[in-house]
Amino acid sequence: MKNFIENLLDLSKGNNLYLRLSEVEKEFGIRFAKNLPEIRGIGYSIKGGVVPGDQLNGRYDTVYKNKIVCLYKTDDVVITVSFGTDGTKFCVQHRANEAIEACWRRATSFDYEANEDIENYILKEEKNYTEIEGLRIINTTPHAINFLSEKTGKEYQVEPCGFVLNATPEEQVVQETPVTLVKTVFKPSQEGLDFLETLPEDIIVIGSIIAAQAYPGRVFAMTPAKGFERVPPAEKRMNLFKFTVFPE
């Protein structure tokens, strides 16, 4: 499964690309398209600030009000998101397509390293993880999970991220005589492995007990909170700070 930046690069096919929020949502179905403008108020770093001058026409006394954040930058391509009077847009610029060198110099002037806030926001909205009491949790089950923090006594609900980690059961023979004894092991899917590779290591990935066995060490199964060990599923509360892990 490709991340948002990789999908933008694929969509551009080596050409310059400009997408409004409505087009991003239509193309990728990413929920943050509706919420992205709101992050202007959280104080993330915008290196470059406003866009100085009109490089296209050689006028450098005009200042545009656009705020531009660089999401990705290499020697050959730059991906930015701009907040301006004409709306919020994503831009993919390939150096090979920039006939005017000033446009490329402007595109590469924005500091990619300084924009962790917006990167984390996009990751959160794209992958749909939940941040609780300093933990970043992503739910790969098809159901909402109710957690109880034994530190604060607060309850939280973590919705499914939209991607379910699946596994394939496989029997392995342990003994053949006098009777056949087998054990069941669970094999991960390639799609699941690809999905996990897109997640930072500090995100806690919760899944079913089967998924925890199929993706050992990376996916955790839940444990009930104290006092909720023997209650109906609808009343179950899971321990926010305790999970089951299987050895790799």
Hey, is 1 helix, strand or coil?
coil
Q: In terms of domains, do 135 and 91 share one? A: no
Q: In terms of domains, do 134 and 123 share one? A: no
* Tens-digit pLDDT profile for residues 82-100: 766 566 778 888 878 765 5
Take residue 226 and report the two structure tokens written for it: 């104290």
Q: In terms of domains, do 178 and 190 share one? A: yes
* Tens-digit pLDDT profile for residues 164-221: 998 999 999 999 989 999 999 999 999 899 888 878 788 899 999 999 999 999 999 9
Q: In terms of domains, do 153 and 115 share one? A: no
* Tens-digit pLDDT profile for residues 117-130: 555 656 665 567 88
The pLDDT value given to residue 130: 85
Domain boundary among 94, 127, 160: 127
* Tens-digit pLDDT profile for residues 147-159: 999 999 999 999 8
* Domain extent for 198: 130-244
Q: In terms of domains, do 175 and 112 share one? A: no
Q: At what angle do helices 21-28 and 4-12 cross, to 10 degrees?
A: 100
Q: Examine the pLDDT at 23 and tell me if it is beyond 70.
A: yes
Question: Total structural domains in the chain?
Answer: 2
Domain boundary among 110, 127, 144: 127
Q: In terms of domains, do 62 and 40 share one? A: yes
The pLDDT value given to residue 125: 58
User: 215 to each of 104, 192, 209, how far by Cα in Å?
Assistant: 43, 9, 10
The pLDDT value given to residue 21: 72
Q: Are strands 59-64 and 51-54 parallel, antiparallel or unpaired?
A: antiparallel
* Tens-digit pLDDT profile for residues 30-74: 555 444 544 443 333 333 333 443 444 444 444 444 566 677 778
Q: Which residues pair with 173 in a beta bridge?
A: 182
String of DSSP letters for 2-55: --HHHHHHHHHTTS-EEEEHHHHHHHH--THHHHGGGGGGGT---TT-SEEEEG
133-170 b/e with 16+ CB inside 10 Å = b? eebbbbbbbeeebbbbbeeeeeebebeebebbbbbeee
Using an 8 Å Cβ cutoff, are 240 and 204 in contact?
A: no
The pLDDT value given to residue 37: 44
What spatial distance separates the first Cα and last Cα of the chain, rounded to whole Å?
Answer: 23
The pLDDT value given to residue 101: 59
Domain boundary among 103, 127, 151: 127
Q: In terms of domains, do 158 and 103 share one? A: no
Q: How far is CA 193 from the centre of its chain?
A: 15
Q: In terms of domains, do 94 and 152 share one? A: no
Which is higher by pLDDT, 120 or 143? 143
Which is higher by pLDDT, 225 or 14? 225
The pLDDT value given to residue 139: 93
The pLDDT value given to residue 74: 82
Q: In terms of domains, do 138 and 199 share one? A: yes
Q: In terms of domains, do 11 and 117 share one? A: yes
Q: In terms of domains, do 97 and 31 share one? A: yes
Q: In terms of domains, do 162 and 214 share one? A: yes
Instruction: State the average pLDDT over residues 234-248.
Output: 93
